[in-house]
Amino acid sequence: MNPTPPKEPHCAPTLSAVAKLAGVSAITVSRVVRLPNLVKPRTRERVEAVMRELGYVPNQVAGSLASARTTSVGVLVPTIANSIFADTVQGLSDELEPLGYAVILAQSRYDASREHRMLAALLSRRPEAIIMVGSPATEDGARLLRRAGIPVVETWELPVAPIDAVAGFDNYAAGAAVARHLIAQGRRNLAFIGGDDPRATRRWNGFRDTALAAGTDPPRRLVLDRTAWGSVGAFAKLPGVDAVFAANDAHAIGFMSGLRAAGLLRSGPAAEQPVAVIGLGDLEMGQLITPTLSTIRVHGDAIGRTAAKLMLTRDGPRRVDLGFELVLRDSG
């Protein structure tokens, strides 16, 4: 089956447009891209500034015609080390591969400058769409995507005004839901652990605001590295805490390992836990440990499949809220 080409929402800036705005020849712009050492520094800096302003990305698909189809889709995820995003990539691939599309995967590693480089690298391959977990961390990245001339779908977020389209859930609401549940349990000394990326920060904001509105002690936030190991010793840094919301299941499981070592983890139901723990992602491992992990279930597969459909057609809503579920087990 031949893939149906998605309609393009914008026009990508051209090399000639860069040359005109920078006041140089197209050959000079080409040299800046391919042989920058041959261009005077001041001229090179002026051309590079215009490239950033226009969101111009050089075409690295050697010998291809401007009208050629690449049947590739660029996908940018924070990391492949954590399986939390695997369902989204799988759902996306399941929808696109039967149509003849190839998925090109890149990682930002939660680093804004790397994210921008990876977006530019993906766009230089002239994909027919960009799908990314989250929203661009910088305005330069957003500008690249707005001016790329191809469909762009953000996921795992729910911005009011997406660049083109979004399929995700409300991270702030997820944090608020966890706080409401813990407060209803009678927990008063709450903490949030995990990274400081934008999505985790929105979960923290919802968690904190809801707890403060309910009159609890001010919740604490502990920023950790990206691995589960970073959360094993976190309990020692949170004296007096009686409930923890972890930014993802990996951090929750690591934290529970630390609680177990301290003798503060029981095999009974949530009401018997000295410290309640709730994660996010509903990883399979959370159902296999003791006590089983309470979590926010995100519909990762549906996010990926919906992102593919938003890429392929411009019909219907461009902002799709796929929601989340608070799954209660024995940990909290």
Comparing 303 with 26, the larger pLDDT belongs to 303
Range 174-212 burial, b when 16+ CB lie within 10 A, else e = bbbbbbbbbbeeebbbbbbbbbebbbbbbbbbbbbebbe
The DSSP-derived string for 20-35 is HHHTS-HHHHHHHHH-
Residue 162 preceded by cis peptide, ω within 30 = no
Q: What would the pLDDT profile of 267-294 be if each residue is shown by its tens digit?
A: 889 989 999 999 999 999 999 999 999 9
CA distance 105 to 215: 45
The yes or no reply on domain 171-298 and CATH 3.40.50.2300 is yes
**CB-based contact 300:155 (threshold 8 Å):** no
Q: Which has the minimum average pLDDT: 22-31, 118-127, 141-150? A: 22-31
Distance in angstroms (rounded) separating the CA atoms of residues 310 and 194: 31
Instruction: Give the percent of the chain with pLDDT over 70.
Output: 93
Please tell me the predicted confidence (pLDDT) of residue 321: 98
Predicted TM-score (pTM) of the model is: 0.80
Q: Say yes or no: do domains 15-169+301-327 and 171-298 share a fold.
A: yes
* 3-state SS assignment for residue 320: strand
User: What mean pLDDT, rounded, does the chain reach?
Assistant: 90
Neighbours of 65 (CB within 10 A): 7
Split at pLDDT 50, 70, 90, the class of 27 is: confident
User: Going by CATH, does the domain composed of 15-169+301-327 fall within 3.40.50.1110?
Assistant: no
Tens-digit pLDDT profile for residues 171-219: 999 999 999 999 999 999 999 999 999 999 999 999 999 999 999 999 9
Return the H-helix or E-strand segment holding 212: helix 198-213
Cα distances from 160 to residues 40, 165, 170, 318, in angstroms, run 43, 10, 10, 11
Cα separation of 171 and 157, whole Å?
7
CB atoms within 10 A of CB 10: 16
pLDDT in tens, 209-261: 999 999 999 999 999 987 777 799 898 999 999 999 999 999 999 999 999 99
What tens digit of pLDDT does each residue of 283-329 get?
A: 999 999 999 999 999 999 999 999 999 999 888 899 999 999 999 99
For the chain, the structural domain boundaries read 15-169+301-327, 171-298
Residue 9 has pLDDT above 70, yes or no: no
> Is the model more confident about 57 or about 100?
100
Greatest mean pLDDT among 46-60, 62-76, 164-178 lies in: 164-178
